[in-house]
Amino acid sequence: MTRFKLFIPLIIFMLVGAFFYSTMGRISEGDYDPQALPSALLNKPLPHFALPKLENDQHLVQPKDLLGEIALINVWATWCPSCHIEHPYLNHLAKKLDVVIYGVNYKDENKEALRWLKNKGNPYRFNIVDAQGKLGLDLGVTGAPETYVIDHRGFVRMRHQGPMSGAVWTQKFLPLIERLQQEQAAHSQQEPSKG
Amino acid sequence: MRLILALSLLLLSLMAAAVIETYQFDNEVLRKRYQHFTEELRCPKCQNQNLSGSNSPIAQDLRRELHRLLHEGYSDQEITHYMVERYGEFVLYRPPVNKQTLILWLAPALFLLLAVIAVVIVIRKQMAAKLNDESEQLSGLEQEKLTELLNDRAKGRDHE
C-alpha cells in the first residue's frame, strides 16, 4: 500500500498529461477551439442597423432586407489575411451550392472592397458597409472573418469565428442548415396562406 | 553601447504609447468610471487581457464605445448590460453567480476545504504515529523482565 502511494503523483501526472495531449489533438482537428465564444445573439433577432450598400451607397440596408431565406452573413475586409483564404470557398458556396451570402464589409475602404470583389469574384448577394465597425460591435464580432447563419425569420442561429472551408462547411454549417430548412418547411406548412 | 541604450529607450516608449489613447473626460468621476470599466472588462479577442491592456482593434472599438456611453449618461448597470448583450458574460471579469459560473465562484472555497481536510488527515496521522511510538516503549516491569531474560541467557552460555 505504501509503495502504491509513492506512485500516486506519477499517476496524476500521467492523467493530466493525457488530458492535455487529447485536448491538443482536438484543437488541431478543429473539434475544440479555446478561443471560440458562443455568440451572445444566439437565437435572437439581428440587431437594428441602417447602413449603406457597398454596391450602391444611396441605398440603406436594414435587417428586414435580409429576411425570408436561410442565409450566411460573412464579415470580411480587404485588410484581413484569413479573408483571402476563405474567399474562393465562399465563391464556391454561392455559385455551385446556391447559398445566399450577405457580406458585411468591416472597417474597410469602399474602393478597395469593390476592387477585391471585381478581382476575386463576388459571392455576395450584396454587401453592407460597416466602416465604423458599429454593426460589428452590435453583432459581437471579435475580428474578421466571421460567418453568421440566420434563419428565414432573421434570427441568428450560429456564429463561426475564423475562415470558412470545406471541412467547416460540412461539419458545422451543413447539419444546422438542413435542420433550419426543415424548420422553415414546417413553418410554411403551418401558415400556408402566408406562403 | 550608448546607441543600444538609446534604441532600447525608444522601444519602451513606443510600447507604452501603444495602449495610451487620449480621451477627454468631462469630469473626474467619468474618468474614474472609464478606468474601472477598462480594468473589469475583458477583451473578446485577446482573451486574457482586459480592455485597458489590449491593443486589438476590437478593444479600441470597445474603449471608444465605452467613452461614448459614459458621456451619454449611461449608468454602470446599463453599460454592463450593453457589453453583455453583445459579447456575453464572457466579457465580465466578475461574472454574475448563475448555473454556468457557479463552479468558478465555488472552486476556491472547495479547494480550500480540500486543503483543510488534507492538513487535518496528515496531522491526525502524525499524532497517531507519535502515540504508537510511545506505546512501543517498554514499561518499567517489561524492562526488568527483559534484562532478566537476557541475563539468564548469558549465564546459560557461560555454562557451556
CB of B62 within 8 Å of any CB in chain A?
Answer: yes
Q: Does B137 map to a domain?
A: yes
The pLDDT assigned to A195 comes to 41
Residues B73 and B131 in one domain: no
Residues B53 and B26 in one domain: yes
Residues B17 and B49 in one domain: yes
Say whether pLDDT at B14 is over 50: no
Q: For the domain that residue A104 is a member of, what is the CATH number? A: 3.40.30.10
Q: E strands of A54-131, at which residues?
A: 60-61, 71-76, 101-106, 127-130
Buried b (16+ CB within 10 A) or exposed e, A146-183: bbbbbbbebbbbbbbbbbbeeebbeebbeeebeebeee
Count how many residues are written for chain A: 195
Q: Does A135 map to a domain?
A: yes
| Pairs from B135-144 (Cβ < 8 Å, separation ≥ 24) | none
The pLDDT assigned to A192 comes to 56
Residues B8 and B70 in one domain: yes
Q: Does B97 map to a domain?
A: no
Q: Does A116 map to a domain?
A: yes
Residues B38 and B117 in one domain: no
Residues B23 and B73 in one domain: yes
Residues B54 and B23 in one domain: yes
Give the gyration radius of chain A's Cα atoms.
21
Residues A66 and A46: their CA atoms lie apart, in Å, by: 9
Residues B80 and B108 in one domain: no
Yes or no, beta carbons of B84 and A35 under 8 Å apart: no
Neighbouring C-beta atoms of residue B95, cutoff 10 Å = 16
Residues B122 and B130: their CA atoms lie apart, in Å, by: 12
Yes or no, beta carbons of A37 and B58 under 8 Å apart: no
Q: Is the dihedral of CA A53, A58, A62, A64 positive or negative?
A: negative
- Helix, strand, coil percentages in chain B from 3-state DSSP, rounded to 5: 70, 0, 25
* Total of domains in chain A: 1
Q: Domain containing B129: what range?
A: 102-159
Q: Does A54 map to a domain?
A: no
Residues B91 and B46: their CA atoms lie apart, in Å, by: 11
Q: For the domain that residue B52 is a member of, what is the CATH number? A: 1.10.8.640
* Out of B44, B84, B85, closest to residue A142 by CB: B44
Query: Where does residue B91 fall: left (phi above 0), alpha (psi -120 to 50 degrees), or beta otherwise?
Result: alpha
The pLDDT assigned to B48 comes to 83
Say whether pLDDT at B159 is over 70: no
Residues B49 and B119 in one domain: no
In this predicted model, which residue has the larger pLDDT, B9 or A158?
Answer: A158
Q: Does B96 map to a domain?
A: no
Q: Does A97 map to a domain?
A: yes
Say whether pLDDT at A31 is over 80: no
Q: Does B24 map to a domain?
A: yes
Nine-digit cell at B32? 474614474
Strands A101-106 and A71-76: parallel
* Out of B47, B61, B85, closest to residue A133 by CB: B61
**Please, what is the angle between helix B57-71 and helix B76-87, to 10°?**
150
The dihedrals phi and psi of B6, each to the nearest 5 degrees, come to -60, -40
The amino acid present at A144, given as its one-letter code, is A
Inter-residue contact A24 to A33 (CB < 8 Å): no
Mean pLDDT of chain A: 90
Residues B46 and A29: their CA atoms lie apart, in Å, by: 22
Residues B35 and B83 in one domain: yes
3-state secondary structure of B92: strand
The pLDDT assigned to B158 comes to 66
Residues B130 and B80: their CA atoms lie apart, in Å, by: 58
Q: Domain containing A128: what range?
A: 80-188
Q: Does B58 map to a domain?
A: yes
Q: Does B29 map to a domain?
A: yes
* Total of domains in chain B: 2
- pLDDT tens digits, one per residue of B50-78: 888 888 888 888 999 999 999 999 999 99
Mean per-residue pLDDT, B123-149: 83
Q: Does A145 map to a domain?
A: yes
- Beta-carbon contacts of A167 under 8 Å, excluding residues fewer than 6 positions away, are A30
Yes or no, beta carbons of B58 and A39 under 8 Å apart: no
Q: Does B49 map to a domain?
A: yes
* Out of A39, A40, A142, closest to residue B58 by CB: A142
Q: Does A128 map to a domain?
A: yes
- Beta-carbon contacts of B138 under 8 Å, excluding residues fewer than 6 positions away, are B146
Residues on chain B touching A38 (C-beta within 8 angstroms): 88
Q: Does A173 map to a domain?
A: yes
Mean per-residue pLDDT, A51-78: 93
Inter-residue contact A175 to A160 (CB < 8 Å): no
Q: Does A193 map to a domain?
A: no
Inter-residue contact B70 to B79 (CB < 8 Å): yes
Residues B8 and B87 in one domain: yes
- pLDDT tens digits, one per residue of A91-101: 999 999 999 99
